[in-house]
Structure 1
Amino acid sequence: MDAAFARSYALESTLSSGTTALVALIFGRSLLVENAGNSRAVLSRNGRALDMSNDHTPIYNKERIRVESLGGFIEDGYLNGQLAVTRAIGNWDMKGLKEMGDDISPLTAEPELKLITLTKEDEFLILGSDGIWDVISSQNAVDFVRRQLQEHNDINRCCMELAKEALRRGSFDNLTVVIVCFHPEPPSQVVAQRRARVSRTFSAEELLKLKSFLEEKK
């Protein structure tokens, strides 16, 4: 895909756009997520949010180290002072980012991969563009989608409502959402685990010592 963008740009300089990529593959009980850019995949495991991808932004320490090792730099939170992401498809017009070749340049389309084994506790997967995560945390999104599914169990409606919620919170960026549910029935209520009460008894001798100590403090 990145090579196709490069060919288009070589033929017509106005075709210089870039984009991110987020892919989820499910085969059997395995979930593989591939990410290049600042879109994000979040898994709900019994109501707990598990990030299945990292946001490839200049403030992400691992990406900053990679960029600097390849001769790039971070300026005012931007890659080489130009781009808000450190991995993307396209953007071949940006000087000093891809002109050396994608494999050795600070800006790369090479995705990060994360593979896990799904369990019975895994409820759904949220795939969202950066406009969602600019204003909603991973856990907030999971909580919101769980409530929506418990209310009407309509996946398409959940996607629309999550995008509307991000818009209501002031997001100005792209709002794209895909939700994949692993069960036909809505998520069950999560029962918070109560902390076990620890009882403590004192001997008569200990009580006398405590009484003497308190009287001395008066």
Structure 2
Amino acid sequence: MQVFDGHGGPEAAAYVRKNVDRFFFEDANFPPTSEVNDVFLEGVENSVRKAFLLADLALADDSGVSSSSGTTALTALIFGRTLMVANAGDCRAVLCRKGQAVDMSQDHRPSYPLERRRVEELGGFVDDGYLNGVLSVTRALGDWDMKFPRGSASPLIAEPEFRQVVLTEEDEFLIIGCDGIWDVMSSQQAVSLVRRGLRRHDDPEQSARDLVMEALRLNTFDNLTVIVICFSSPDQFEPTPPRQRKLRCCSLSVEALCSLRSFLDNNGNR
């Protein structure tokens, strides 16, 4: 499952989407189906990383793709009970665990301290939240007009970050979406909305549409792409713990207490 979010024109996102199978699964070293263990997962991670970088180089070589066009990319893979997410850019994967949001990716934005430090160490700068005053992400495929020549360390990179988790019976569904969703709602807000919807209609496609409509209602200004993947039936969802109401205390003056006592003694009659 992949989500791509293009910028600087649609060419880069369309190209990667069209060729995604070639980049990801035609690698002769892609681990064959076998026992899911640490060695297997390490092999998958290496192959996926290579696929991101190959796609990035292919964008540089294709004359039909503008050098100013780029795309963020997020891939979610499931092997047995292991969920692996690879991300370059500001798309986001969020796991619902017993109604609680668990982020499975980090938004690669210039404001993120680790990314800002990496950018500045490689000669880039952040201006008003933008990489080199131009781009709102620090990792992307394409955008070759902003990257140093091949073989040089560039502030803008296509290298993905990985997160893994072993799925359990507590894990209900996964949301993957582009930043148009996350610009206007938190991970927890998205999870809660989808969870309520699945309880009503048990339709992940409808839940994805619900997220898009809610983002539009909240006046998002960016692209909207979202996928919802269910791991269990909504009738197996544990009830969301009720919110505990905060106790509020107040104090009364002696005069007010006397007035209240008089009121009660007279059975509320004046």
2:60 aligned with 1:6: yes
Q: CA deviation at 1:183?
A: 1.1
Residue aligning to 1:111: 160
- Partner secondary structure for residue 139 of structure 1: helix
Distance 2:64 2:239 in 1: 54
* Deviations 1:193-214, CA, capped at 9 Å, x for gaps: 879xxxxxxxxxxxxxxxxxxx
- Partner secondary structure for residue 127 of structure 1: strand
Distance 1:173 1:6, change over 3 A: same
Corresponding residue to 1:138 among 169, 184, 187: 187
Q: CA deviation at 1:118?
A: 0.8
State which drifts further: 38-47 or 102-111.
102-111
Aligned partner letter, 1:7:
D
Relative to the length of structure 2, the TM-score reads: 0.67
Residue aligning to 1:41: 93
Aligned partner letter, 2:170:
E
Q: CA deviation at 1:90?
A: 0.5
Aligned partner letter, 2:81:
R
Greater helix content: 2
Aligned partner letter, 2:57:
A
Residue aligning to 1:208: none
Distance 1:92 1:149 in 2: 42
Aligned partner letter, 1:138:
S
Residue aligning to 1:210: none
Distance 2:195 2:161 in 1: 27
Any unmatched runs of 5+ in structure 1? 196-218
Relative to the length of structure 1, the TM-score reads: 0.82
Distance 1:52 1:134 in 2: 17
* Deviations 1:138-191, CA, capped at 9 Å, x for gaps: 000000000000011111110011101001100010100001100134434223
Distance 2:210 2:144 in 1: 35
Residue aligning to 1:71: 123
RMSD: 1.8
Distance 1:194 1:91 in 2: 49
Distance 1:102 1:156, change over 3 A: farther
Residue aligning to 1:129: 178
Residue aligning to 1:205: none
- Partner secondary structure for residue 64 of structure 1: helix
Identical columns (%): 56
* Deviations 1:45-104, CA, capped at 9 Å, x for gaps: 00000000000000011100111111111111110111100000001123xxx1233761
Residue aligning to 1:199: none
Q: When the two structures are aligned, how many residues end up with a matched partner? A: 190
- Partner secondary structure for residue 119 of structure 1: coil
* Deviations 1:97-126, CA, capped at 9 Å, x for gaps: x12337610000000000111111000000
Corresponding residue to 2:148 among 89, 95, 99: 99
2:172 aligned with 1:120: no
Q: CA deviation at 1:16?
A: 3.2
Residue aligning to 2:108: 56
Distance 1:138 1:57 in 2: 16
- Partner secondary structure for residue 58 of structure 1: coil
State which drifts further: 101-110 or 185-194.
185-194
Aligned partner letter, 2:56:
D
Aligned partner letter, 2:137:
V
Residue aligning to 2:81: 29
Any unmatched runs of 5+ in structure 2? 1-54, 246-270
- Partner secondary structure for residue 20 of structure 1: strand
